[in-house]
Amino acid sequence: VGSYRDISHEILSLFRLPGALARPGHVLVAEILVLGTGDRVERLHPAMLKQMRECGIAVEVQDTPNACATFNFLTSEKRRAAAGLIPP
């Protein structure tokens, strides 16, 4: 992924298991996905965010330096977090 414009449904599928839903007995890769979009916070298409919510994964979009800090904080609290980071 070279920029936030390259983020697609297919790219986001890397952060969830096929068929995984927020139901008992299903395992999610992460409960929250932190996306760092480079130097600035960029807006993602609402359909992509909805897709992730429907799988039980919250998405936090931030500039990359803040996304790194957020990811580190979440993992220090033993939260199931994943990060997708585009260099600034």
CATH number at residue 17: 3.40.1230.10
Per-residue pLDDT at 28 exceeds 90: no
Using alpha carbons only, give the angle 75, 76, 81 rounded to the nearest 5 degrees.
10
Q: Give the residue among 57, 71, 74, 67 at the shortest CA–CA distance from 15.
A: 57
Q: Where are the strands (E) in the chain, listed by range?
A: 32-37, 58-62, 81-86
For residue 52, the model assigns a pLDDT of 86
CA dist 20 to 17, 24, 28, 59, 73, Å? 5, 10, 6, 16, 25
- Give the residue numbers spanning the domain of 28: 4-85
Question: How far is residue 7's CA from residue 85's CA, in Å, rounded to a whole number?
Answer: 11
| Percentage of the residues of the chain whose pLDDT score is greater than 70 | 85
**Count of domains in the chain?**
1
